[in-house]
Amino acid sequence: MKRRDFLVKGSLALAAVAASDKWMNKVWAGESALMGTSLLDTYFQVNKADISKVLSATLAKGAEFADVFFEYRISSNLSFEEDIVKSARRGIVQGVGIRAVKGDQIGFAFTEDVSLPSMMEAANAAAAIASDNVAKARVVGVNNQKVGNFYPIKELATSTDLTKKLSFIKEANAAAKAHDSKIVRVNIGFNDEVKHVAYANSDGVYWEDSQPLFMFSAFCIAEDGKLRENGYTGGGGRIGMEYFNQRKAADIGKEAARIAVLNLGAQEAEAGVQTVVLGPAESAVLLHEAVGHGLEADFNYKKLSNYSGRVGQKVASEHCTVVDEGLFPNMRGTINVDDEGNTPQSTTLIEGGILRGYMNDRISAKQLGVKVSGNGRRQAYSHPPMPRMTNTYLRPGKYSAEEILKTVKDGVYAKGFTGGQVDITKGDFTFSCSECYRIEDGKITVPLKGVTLVGNGPDVMTKVSMVGNDLKFTDGGWTCGKNGQMVPVGMGTPTVKVSDITVGGTKVRGEGKA
Amino acid sequence: MMKDYRNLAAELVSELKKQGAEAADVYIVSTNGFNTTVRLGKIERLQQSISKGLGLRVIKNGAMANTFTTDFHDRAVKDLARETMQIVQVSNADKFNGLAPKDLLGSYDGKLMLFDESIAKLTPEKKIEMARLAEETGMKFDKRIKNANGTSWSDSRSQVTLANSDGFTGQYQMTQASLSVSLLAEDEDGTKQTDGHYTFGRFLNTLASPQAIGEEAGRRVVRKLGGRKVKSAIVPVVLDPRVASFLLGDVFGAASGGSIYRRMSYLVDKVGQQIASPMITIADDATMADGVASRPFDAEGVKSSSVVVVEKGVLKQYVCDSYAARRLNLKPTGNASRSYQGNPNVGSSNLFIKNGDTKPEDIVKSVKNGLYLDRVGGQGLNSTTGDFSMGANGRWIENGEFTHAVQEITVAGNVMKVLSNVKAVGNDLSFKLGTTASPTLLIGEMTIGGE
């Protein structure tokens, strides 16, 4: 099982949905402080004295640090197919993860049974990573830490009436069907969740956060004679029902239909090295794969990444400034606080082509002797945190998209993507287009069948020859996988020209069989 | 021993019936897991878990809804049952909703090797020792191996419980263990490569030894050194079993009833037709005695069986859960799979391409100028059309001999065309790397994108 880090688009990582009276009455983290109640009381029926006991037990065998992560996730899912609600689903997952840290060693245990005896059993299991048998156990205080509010919500989708949600679904469904008579199938998905988290660690820190996640998606099949193609799009973020004020449900349906119909007319691409212009927003998959994962600090203190030990060196063309920032309001990769209590920041990874630093968590920051960047994230209570991206983007340059396209006589314009993958050791990455075109004499012409672009991260970044002035962020939908853990991420990029990159096609340029 | 949940499941089914469900089922999964990672001889992680989840599914007035929870307390579960009956009001009637046909329900009564007591008896110290031994053997394989991503041992005991309103109640327990090694090697010029190897199974004595896994991981990472691009070309390609089984997984998806009635498949209207070379036979067998995906019944309670999907290149049938079967007017094939969080869906068990009679080394020897494909990567496979374009790495073959490692290239084509163009099938089928397995395959030609 090789270490591969990847990105996928779609609702793979999400699960279920909806609201009941009981859930609607439950409180939001921000409000709960005002009301004098806490998520801990509301969802876990655990008190702070119990948490102290659990943390002390976790430290009992000599660990230097311990933390405990409570999660109560309510999720809702509506799946609409063939003009009806095919499935309505909702669920509650609650659990607690307990971690003991000694140097860069981790003892970890989790359970869904949030009772003191079960937590103590888990604490003892986690504590076993240390074996000093020196009684370092101490009573741990838990003081409230204030966290920011980067996901203000007007109307939480998970508490919204299902019939109201259904009206948006029907709107998208009708728009997709009306787009073209070639559309033979439309699936609409409405996935949302709210994850209530309570966290305490042996530094005496305690915080709570309620993390909403929203995704609305459309999938279409278009048929023309024997040809059959699909189109997919979706959007969302850490946002509520007000999402539909910025992007209409009908537009999402129409967009999926447009891509499906477009791909019916797509031509076979030529295989080989070509000049590629990457469109704004989704092309940030390139950043995510080519540099993002390689700059996660765990890979670097272990010297596993091709960027290990290269801070201060030139690793990209001078046009590239890459930033990871978890603070953009309502974005999918945004966090009020990372999953071990650190405040997320705006971290400049590459500045004018020079490597400035890595994204780290508590353990890797200590190993590298640098300040924590607040990138310690985890999929759930059932996984320990590790360095992860939040919202990663390339700062804009000076060219308009038109100026960039004009410089290309013959090449590929890539606009939409299904995902990407990277081998962080060598830096070889792959990313797969769902919408791309040929460029002929500076103009976007015929659509090409979904192609894959491959390259070597450090190499490709030196070949970024022009950066546009049209920075755009993706509209939700992206989920990043690393070591078996999935987390929602955001990303952005302006139009970018890469002077050469290998394109995977079925035709070979200028020759027949080898 | 794990807690018996049959009564809880059956009681919940009656509760749902009492509250007005026409049909209902309850699916419970519980897992006790252990995992440790060793890196450069040091323990990096020790992990232990006790995990469980419960899913309810109801059908009322032809509409379906489902809910799930990890809280098994009486009140929480009763609340959930009530809420399920509320949500089903929002869902729409679909005449194809329902449980599996009564006459197909039951447990396979042949021998299945599901539970190995000896895994439960292993101490954490022994597991750590195995991981250390595997890594150490790998690191010693070649002096250019200088670093490691980590070696992990994992094992679990899990239990599946299912009850439905047609009177079916079933439960089974199973064990699983795996060991995986991942290493780094470095060229003279400092270029690093990573690769590894693993083993997994239900029974301890079916796993490859730690030394064998370490050594194979070493062999794999070293042979990637010196990897380079090749010129774009259309050439014969040998598919390593891992790549062949990746394509096999897609064929299964395309043959799934769910993809067929949705018309999201390149196998729509193809039953009875030649879709692959006559050398290709594909089967899915949930009753293999030592199969890691074997089980007495599927996620709807349908008795396990063996299903031939493609015989000598001809598509014989679609694989179905009960919903897809009703949509297509077919019989369920015992291929329902689900997690406690969702509805049943079509899934494979032990899925394989039948062995051929050529030794894999003879397949390589038969290639004059071509590519041995070790890995493909990325999300560039369109399951509606079968068109793919993926990142790849492997080894170049000249006059039947490996010459150098190949990296940073793409392979592109169409799954159906590839299957029809199979020129040789290896005799090396093994389930040691996954429950979807294939022997080595030789493909007449594929397009490689490189320089």
Each residue of A314-372: pLDDT tens digit?
A: 999 999 999 999 999 999 999 999 999 999 999 999 999 999 999 999 999 999 999 99
Mean pLDDT of A303-313: 95
Mean pLDDT of A157-184: 96
For residue A75, list its beta bridge partners.
A91, A193
B412 closest CB neighbour out of A1, A228, A271 = A271
B410 closest CB neighbour out of A20, A110, A504 = A504
* Cβ–Cβ pairs < 8 A, chains A and B: 292
In the chain, the amino acid numbered A323 is V
Contact at CB, A106 and B46, closer than 8 angstroms? yes
Q: Which residues of B touch A382 (CB under 8 A)?
A: 49, 51
In a mutational test of the B interface, the residue from A44, A286, A378, A426 whose CB has the highest number of chain B CBs within 10 Å is: A426
- Residue A193 host element (H or E): strand A183-201
Contact at CB, A93 and B378, closer than 8 angstroms? no
In the chain, the amino acid numbered A372 is V
Q: Which residues of B427-436 are buried (b: 16+ CB within 10 A; e: fewer)?
A: ebbebbebbb
Within 10 A of B20 (CB to CB), how many other CB atoms are there? 11
Closest-CA residue of B relative to A187 is B262
* pLDDT confidence bin for A22, thresholds 50/70/90: very low
E strands present in B266-329 = 282-285, 306-311, 314-315
Q: Which residues of A touch B415 (CB under 8 A)?
A: none
Q: What are phi and psi of A114, to 5 degrees?
A: -85, 60
Residue B10: strand, helix, or coil: helix
Q: Which of A13-17, A31-35, A421-425, B87-91 has the lowest mean pLDDT?
A: A13-17
Closest-CA residue of A relative to B69 is A92
Contact at CB, A503 and B234, closer than 8 angstroms? no
In a mutational test of the A interface, the residue from B61, B447, B448, B451 whose CB has the highest number of chain A CBs within 10 Å is: B447
Angle (CA) A250-A256-A258 rounded to 5° is 95
Q: Which residues of A touch B123 (CB under 8 A)?
A: none
Confidence check: pLDDT of A238 > 90: yes
Contact at CB, A452 and B378, closer than 8 angstroms? yes
To the nearest whole Å, the CA of A147 is away from the closest chain B CA by 28
Q: Residues B362-414: pLDDT tens digits?
A: 999 999 999 999 999 888 899 899 999 999 999 999 999 999 999 999 999 99
Please tell me the predicted confidence (pLDDT) of residue A14. Answer: 29
Q: Which residues of B70-93 are buried (b: 16+ CB within 10 A; e: fewer)?
A: bbbeeeebebbbebbbbbbebbbe
> Residues A232, A255: contact at Cβ < 8 Å?
no
Confidence check: pLDDT of A480 > 90: yes
Closest-CA residue of B relative to A513 is B234
To the nearest whole Å, the CA of A421 is away from the closest chain B CA by 5
Contact at CB, B194 and A269, closer than 8 angstroms? no
Contact at CB, A431 and B378, closer than 8 angstroms? yes
Q: Residues B185-201: pLDDT tens digits?
A: 999 988 999 999 999 99
Within 10 A of B121 (CB to CB), how many other CB atoms are there? 9
> Residues A125, B48: contact at Cβ < 8 Å?
yes
* pLDDT confidence bin for A451, thresholds 50/70/90: confident
Please tell me the predicted confidence (pLDDT) of residue A32. Answer: 44
As a whole number of angstroms, the distance between CA A292 and CA A287 comes to 6
A84 closest CB neighbour out of B94, B196, B369 = B94
Confidence check: pLDDT of A157 > 80: yes
Contact at CB, A2 and B377, closer than 8 angstroms? no
User: Would you state the structure tokens that stand for residue B357, as one six-digit string?
Assistant: 């009679």
Residues 6+ apart with CB under 8 A from A41: none
As a whole number of angstroms, the distance between CA A70 and CA A200 comes to 9
Average per-residue pLDDT for chain B: 96
To the nearest whole Å, the CA of B263 is away from the closest chain A CA by 8
Q: Residues B281-335: pLDDT tens digits?
A: 999 999 999 999 999 999 999 999 999 999 999 999 999 999 999 999 999 999 9
As a whole number of angstroms, the distance between CA B442 and CA B426 comes to 8
Q: Which of A46-60, A131-145, A465-479, B2-16 has the lowest mean pLDDT?
A: A131-145
Residue A366: strand, helix, or coil: helix
Query: Between A162-179 and A249-264, two packed helices, what is the crossing angle to 10 degrees?
Result: 30
SS3 content of chain B, % helix, strand, coil (to 5): 25, 40, 35
Q: Which residues of B249-264 are buried (b: 16+ CB within 10 A; e: fewer)?
A: bbbbbbbbbbbbbbeb
Confidence check: pLDDT of A25 > 60: no
The more confident residue out of A33 and B336 is: B336
Please tell me the predicted confidence (pLDDT) of residue A30. Answer: 42
> Residues B82, B47: contact at Cβ < 8 Å?
no
To the nearest whole Å, the CA of B109 is away from the closest chain A CA by 34
Residues comprising chain B, all counted: 451
* pLDDT confidence bin for A513, thresholds 50/70/90: very low
Q: Which residues of B touch A456 (CB under 8 A)?
A: 408
Burial of B401 (0-12, 13-18, 19+ CB in 10 A): exposed
Cα separation values, A426 from A233, A294, A422, B184, Å: 32, 10, 9, 10
* pLDDT confidence bin for B438, thresholds 50/70/90: very high
Confidence check: pLDDT of A415 > 80: yes
> Residues A422, A461: contact at Cβ < 8 Å?
no
* pLDDT confidence bin for A510, thresholds 50/70/90: low
* pLDDT confidence bin for A4, thresholds 50/70/90: low
User: Would you state the structure tokens that stand for residue A168, as one six-digit string?
Assistant: 């948006």
Q: Which residues of B touch A262 (CB under 8 A)?
A: none
Contact at CB, A90 and B263, closer than 8 angstroms? no
Please tell me the predicted confidence (pLDDT) of residue B421. Answer: 98
Closest-CA residue of A relative to B446 is A506
* pLDDT confidence bin for A26, thresholds 50/70/90: very low
Mean pLDDT of B63-70: 96
* pLDDT confidence bin for A41, thresholds 50/70/90: confident
As a whole number of angstroms, the distance between CA A169 and CA A189 comes to 8
Percent of chain A scored above 90 by pLDDT? 77
Q: What are phi and psi of A473, to 5 degrees?
A: -100, 155
Please tell me the predicted confidence (pLDDT) of residue A140. Answer: 64
As a whole number of angstroms, the distance between CA B300 and CA B305 comes to 14
